[in-house]
Amino acid sequence: MSSADASPPLLTREQVLRALRQIDREGRRLPPSTVYELVYKGRRYPPRAVAELAYRLAQRDPDAAWPRAAGSPTNAVLEQLDFTISTKRPVLTPGSAHDGEEAARQQAEELYTGHSKPSASAPARSLPPAGAQPAVAAEPNAPYEPGPYTEADALAELFIDEDTLRAARAGLARRRNLLLQGPPGTGKTFLARRLAWLLMGARDERRIELVQFHPSYGYEDFILGFRPDAEGRFQLVPGTLPLLAEHAAADPDRPYFLLIDEINRGNVPRIFGELLLLLEADKRGPAHALRLPYAPPEAPRFFLPDNLYVIGTLNLADRSLSPLDYALRRRFAFVDLQPQFGEQFRAFLRARQVPAGLVEQLCRRLLALNQVIADDPELGPDFRIGHSYFCQPPAQPEAVAEWLHLIYTQEIGPLLADYWREQPPLAAAQLRKLLA
């Protein structure tokens, strides 16, 4: 054993807890941290200041200097003592929902890992000696290694050609914001995730955040707003976008992605607020930061980092929604997606053991139906039927006919009845053609 292994730890968990109790009891103001914070019992503290106070109390010397440099060395010491170190949030709000979740997690840890609540008479707990077995067995955390993702992988599972895929990538790289629009069932969300993987070069879900807009979704959910905590008190809590932007800003050499499903189902101008300005490709970075309306005066201004990309999906057939305004449209590049019942889709079904006769019948009948829908002056091309309805055939070839019949009667038929609700005979006639 080396001398480094035999040296006693700088601190024990009880010494750090003693420092935290003194900070709370005295209401001591600590210098703010820059990147990381120690999270304990729903409160956040600057790690170095906590460690330094604990060290001075342990040494009984009010002038003792913490012997570790700021940042990772200090964080590593505290993490070894089972404290949580997290990335600093844009707006510091003790008692927020996020801190409440962390407090609940730590309380659960105390139940299952043997961490007891500290008391004045409790003996100091130090790190276990090297080679000692843990008191409670636990599954090891498997390392997350995202697999690579290339253009060849994308073309193999998408029903679009190489030129369309490259055009979508170019629009996203140019504008930083992309909207995939098309009829229902054309694989917009599926493509959005694959575009993110393609620009990352890996299937890395850690750098992707997916949200779905809806009529009840608002600015407070997306950007910043007041939410009740576990005790019923309202706290200022950052939404989805600032948290993702913070992670992207801390990792500027790698791209991050926000995927917005059904973007036109929400009140987009209200949800985005001042983000309409920050979305501009040339308005990214700290130089264009804005003060958020709900943020306290001392809070840092908000900006979108250059490595954060936004991909939205837009359903063109939903007549209950108002179109996007031009202020938002001019900040996005648009890609139109079409129903795909061509040779690539046929090959996809044949590779999944769908009988060749049924494949040809399906594609021929859907192409004919989509032509009728596109020619109808009350509907048009935006209401055509997409290929996504048929992308999960059963593994047994003998079950395919029944599977196809159920899709026609339970999914396509009701949709046609809604399309031609004023002309029921027309909807029934088109369904009969599918089932013939």
Give the fold, CATH level 3, of 151-336. Rossmann fold (3.40.50)
What's the distance, Cα to Cα, between the start and end of the chain in Å?
A: 81
Closest CA to 8 of 83, 84, 65, 67: 67
pLDDT at 309: 96
Q: Residue 92 — pLDDT band, cuts 50, 70, 90?
A: very low
Task: Say how many CA atoms lie within 13 Å of 60 toward its Cβ.
Answer: 0
pLDDT at 32: 75
Does the pLDDT at position 271 exceed 60?
Answer: yes
Work out the percent of the chain whose per-residue pLDDT is above 70.
Answer: 83
Task: Say how many CA atoms lie within 13 Å of 87 toward its Cβ.
Answer: 12
Does the pLDDT at position 95 exceed 60?
Answer: no
Mean pLDDT of 23-41: 81
Task: Say how many CA atoms lie within 13 Å of 276 toward its Cβ.
Answer: 15
Q: Residue 232 — pLDDT band, cuts 50, 70, 90?
A: confident
pLDDT at 180: 94
pLDDT at 295: 83
β strands within 76-151, DSSP E:
84-87
Identify residue 323 by its one-letter amino acid code: P
Residues 176-192: pLDDT tens digits? 999 999 998 999 999 99
Task: Say how many CA atoms lie within 13 Å of 107 toward its Cβ.
Answer: 8
Residues 34-90: pLDDT tens digits? 678 888 877 888 888 899 999 998 888 888 888 887 667 888 888 888 888 877 655
Q: What is the mean pLDDT of the chain?
A: 82
* Helix or strand run (H / E) with residue 237: strand 234-238
pLDDT at 93: 41
Mean pLDDT of 396-404: 91
Q: Are strands 36-40 and 84-87 parallel, antiparallel or unpaired?
A: antiparallel
Cα maximum dimension of the chain: 90
Rounded distance between C-alpha atoms, residue 378 and residue 410, angstroms = 23
Residues 337-386: pLDDT tens digits? 999 999 999 999 999 999 999 999 999 999 999 999 999 999 999 999 99
* Helix or strand run (H / E) with residue 15: helix 13-26
Residues 115-168: pLDDT tens digits? 444 443 344 444 444 444 444 444 445 566 788 999 999 999 899 889 989 999
Rounded distance between C-alpha atoms, residue 42 and residue 19, angstroms = 16
pLDDT at 70: 67
Identify residue 49 by its one-letter amino acid code: A
**Two tokens at 56?**
């001075």
pLDDT at 96: 45
**Two tokens at 288?**
């264009």
Mark residue 4 as left, alpha or beta (left: phi above 0; alpha: psi -120 to 50; beta: remaining): alpha
Mean pLDDT of 201-218: 92
Q: Residue 397 — pLDDT band, cuts 50, 70, 90?
A: confident
β strands within 122-233, DSSP E:
177-182, 208-212, 224-228
Q: How many CB atoms lie within 10 A of CB 361?
A: 14
Rounded distance between C-alpha atoms, residue 9 and residue 414, angstroms = 69
3-state DSSP assignment of residue 305 = coil
Residues 289-314: pLDDT tens digits? 988 888 888 888 899 999 999 999 98
Residue 36 pairs in a beta bridge with: 87
Domain ranges of the chain: 3-113, 151-336, 343-435
